[in-house]
Chain A
Amino acid sequence: QVQLVESGGGVVQPGRSLRLSCAASGFMFSSYGMHWVRQAPGKGLEWVALIWYDGSRNYYADSVKGRFTISRDNSKSTLYLQMNSLRAEDTAVYYCARARAPYSSTEHGSDPWGQGSLVTVSS
């Protein structure tokens, strides 16, 4: 079955870096765009970034642009989120999610989602 498993979360000090991974299985990873979405404790969903199926295009939320980098390794079926210059307001559960439709059709929502990885930015 289709599965997404995030890892790499934890507690990190402000200003430091962290890299999240999302291991995909059960589908042709190289055919799908992938998103990162986060949710601060007790708050709503915030879209973070999108990468096209072939890595040719990336898009970011204004709140993370210049600090976070989304990337993928299609040979390993793995999505990454490199997070630099972390701030307290980056504290959240980070979800990876697959675009619902393959290739460049990233406009039709995200399904499925991983279980999430908690990142806590605190001194």
Chain B
Amino acid sequence: SQQGEEDPQALSIQEGENATMNCSYKTSINNLQWYRQNSGRGLVHLILIRSNEREKHSGRLRVTLDTSKKSSSLLITASRAADTASYFCATLRVSNNRKLIWGLGTSLAVNP
């Protein structure tokens, strides 16, 4: 099955630095969503970007979408130790507008 792929798989930074995670996908999409998962917990929706949008902001989060390259990036600015989590991208395909296709996730560690 087609799925998104995030890179890097793991990222370790110092508090205060910016963290950038990337996601690539394979098919035409309606939207792309980023979710966060703290260790052993459920996924929490962070931000959604529609296929006709190029950039979106929410607090310290900035998401970009390049549909020509079929890729997205999630930037977390001024990271905090509490941002330590796994981050997943999920795409809503044009051909199936109910089923999200998930990436493998990026594990982010923010060191105090």
Do these two chains really belong together in a complex? no
